[in-house]
Chain A
Amino acid sequence: MLASLVGFLGDFDLAEEAAAEAFAIAAERWPRDGAPANPAAWLAATARNRAIDRIRRARTLAEKTRQLEVPEATVDGLDETLIEDERLELIFTCCHPALATEAQVALTLRALGGLSTEEIARAFLVAEETMKRRLSRAKLKIKQAGIPFQIPADHLLPDRLDAVLAVVYLIFNEGYSGRVDLAAEAVRLGRLLAELMPDEPEVHGLLALMLIHHARRAARFRGDELVLLEDQDRSLWDQAGIAAGRDALDRAIALRGRGPYVLQAAIASLQAQHPIEWAQIAELYERLAALTGSPIVELNRAVAVAQAGRTEAALEIVEQLDLPDYRYLHSTRAELLHRLGRDEEARTAYERALELAVTEPERRFLEQRRAAV
């Protein structure tokens, strides 16, 4: 209901307040007078009327006054289908490129994730006041700049959908480093997208990718220690999650998906098999690198090539990469040098990686590897 109110009013705060008032009235009246025949329609009509009242009382600008020309909704007049699912419009609005990325993320979690401002603030390690301001500014921009509440036109859709998927994936990755709650939220959003846009292969691809990664979360750490994929205790993997991920991947492939998320999901699926077919994974990374031009993807390809037994070739790939400040470049290089018996160089590379390490588990892990060389 919130989604359709936002659409009607173009104003989040007003929609939220009006919805709250409608629920409050219902909570008061229905036990006394009995629930109306169509509660959802009643709530929507009441909320809209309350909002219109507020608008009149606030005496706002000409733009809002124009909306008063819409005849006041009555319960009888409202068709049940008017309570359309406008969640897709809401997602695209929240992820509009005119909003800063962090605003897109916060807004998406607030409007669709159903997280409270306080929960979102905690998840991103900022003060609640900061998050409140970020959300207000974003909502104000939507209103003042005239960001439309609609599914983008066909020619805009590919880019806009990319933006939505990027926001959801960003949320997932925030959660992946330790704050599990956000990852679960991202998966939820992914499922919602798959439900609302069932014909988009990349949507299923992203869902598949997240489900499979999420399924391995229990095995990623042993206490405070980071555990590599091949060393993970597979009994800790959520097999249902992996199966669900593979289902989503199948749907994406059936829709002829070959985009970056589908490729990454396919890689994740292969990595969850036993034994791991690294040569196939290397090939998928090659396709992904061609699509994205990303040196990080090339780095991952090098790892797959090494795991497939071609260590020299892998090192060659790594040496071509321009990622001087990326800690995983140095740790990968170190590992490859070690496998080739060039331990002196390997130690130096581990040292460089350690300089760039970000978290404690990472640091400890790299220390161990360096000591073992």
Chain B
Amino acid sequence: MKYALLIYDKPGSHEALSEQELAAAYREYGALSEDPRCVGGAQLQPVETATTVEVHEGRTLTTDGPFADTKEVFGGYYVFDVSNLDEALELAARVPSARLGGKVEVRPIVEQPS
């Protein structure tokens, strides 16, 4: 089963790390990408680069900034192909954001017929 791991960062959490801690975190992010079960993913650029689009009655509304007005900021995602939810949850727990005040949402992906 394929799962999306949606990473929500606590703002400033990574910036607050020392050089060594940050390097260690990036190694963890890298290790997760290198895991053979990882079939996709991306890190998004900071929230200041975001633009949000809505369409109302044919008119497109474009606004500066991210969609969500939440404290946490969507920072990136992974896609893993694993046998069950527990495997996906274990991988999610390894995402550095999760222990730096952020959250990782784990959701199964709708499988498209190939």
A62 B85 Cβ-Cβ under 8 A: no
A146 B84 Cβ-Cβ under 8 A: yes
Taking the complex as formed, is B113 at the interface, i.e. its CB lies under 8 A from any CB of chain A?
A: yes
The interface bits of chain A over 64-89 (1 if a CB of B lies within 8 angstroms of the residue's CB, else 0) are 00000000000000000000000000
Given contacts A146-B1, A150-B84, A156-B86, 11 further A-B contacts (CB under 8 A): A62-B111, A96-B85, A98-B89, A145-B107, A145-B108, A146-B84, A146-B85, A146-B88, A147-B84, A148-B83, A153-B86
The interface bits of chain B over 11-41 (1 if a CB of A lies within 8 angstroms of the residue's CB, else 0) are 0000000000000000000000000000000
What number of A-B contacts does a CB cutoff of 8 Å give? 31
Q: Please, which residues of chain B bring their CB within 8 A of the CB of A150? A: 84, 86
- Determine the residue in chain A with the shortest Cβ distance to B90: A156
Taking the complex as formed, is A144 at the interface, i.e. its CB lies under 8 A from any CB of chain B?
A: yes
Which 6 residue pairs spanning A and B have beta carbons closest together? A148-B84, A146-B85, A146-B1, A146-B84, A147-B85, A145-B85
The interface bits of chain B over 102-114 (1 if a CB of A lies within 8 angstroms of the residue's CB, else 0) are 0000011001010
- Determine the residue in chain B with the shortest Cβ distance to A96: B85
**A147-163 at interface with B (beta carbon < 8 Å):** 147-148, 150, 152-153, 156
Distance between Cα atoms of A98 and B86 in the complex (Å): 9
Taking the complex as formed, is A58 at the interface, i.e. its CB lies under 8 A from any CB of chain B?
A: no
Q: Can you name 25 A-B pairs with beta carbons within 8 Å?
A: A61-B111, A62-B111, A62-B113, A63-B1, A63-B111, A96-B85, A98-B85, A144-B108, A145-B85, A145-B107, A145-B108, A146-B1, A146-B84, A146-B85, A146-B88, A146-B108, A147-B84, A147-B86, A148-B83, A148-B85, A148-B86, A150-B84, A150-B86, A153-B86, A156-B86
Minimum CB–CB distance for B19 against chain A, Å: 31
Q: Please, which residues of chain B bring their CB within 8 A of the CB of A62? A: 111, 113
Distance between Cα atoms of A61 and B107 in the complex (Å): 18
Distance between Cα atoms of A238 and B85 in the complex (Å): 44
Interface residues of B, count at CB 8 A: 12
- Determine the residue in chain B with the shortest Cβ distance to A160: B86
Most buried by A among B3, B85, B88, B113: B85
Distance between Cα atoms of A145 and B108 in the complex (Å): 6
Minimum CB–CB distance for B50 against chain A, Å: 29
Distance between Cα atoms of A144 and B108 in the complex (Å): 7
Q: Please, which residues of chain A bring their CB within 8 A of the CB of B108? A: 144-146
- Determine the residue in chain B with the shortest Cβ distance to A152: B86
**A100-152 at interface with B (beta carbon < 8 Å):** 144-148, 150, 152
Distance between Cα atoms of A267 and B1 in the complex (Å): 47
Q: Please, which residues of chain A bring their CB within 8 A of the CB of B107? A: 145
Minimum CB–CB distance for A38 against chain B, Å: 32
- Determine the residue in chain B with the shortest Cβ distance to A153: B86
The interface bits of chain B over 68-100 (1 if a CB of A lies within 8 angstroms of the residue's CB, else 0) are 000000000000000111101100000000000
Q: Please, which residues of chain B bring their CB within 8 A of the CB of A152? A: 86
Most buried by B among A62, A63, A146, A153: A146
Q: Please, which residues of chain A bring their CB within 8 A of the CB of B111? A: 61-63
Q: Please, which residues of chain B bring their CB within 8 A of the CB of A153? A: 86
Distance between Cα atoms of A62 and B114 in the complex (Å): 10
- Determine the residue in chain A with the shortest Cβ distance to B85: A146
Q: Please, which residues of chain B bring their CB within 8 A of the CB of A144? A: 108
- Determine the residue in chain B with the shortest Cβ distance to A148: B84
Distance between Cα atoms of A144 and B111 in the complex (Å): 11
Q: Please, which residues of chain B bring their CB within 8 A of the CB of A63? A: 1, 111
Distance between Cα atoms of A266 and B49 in the complex (Å): 60
Q: Please, which residues of chain B bring their CB within 8 A of the CB of A96? A: 85
Q: Please, which residues of chain B bring their CB within 8 A of the CB of A145? A: 85, 107-108
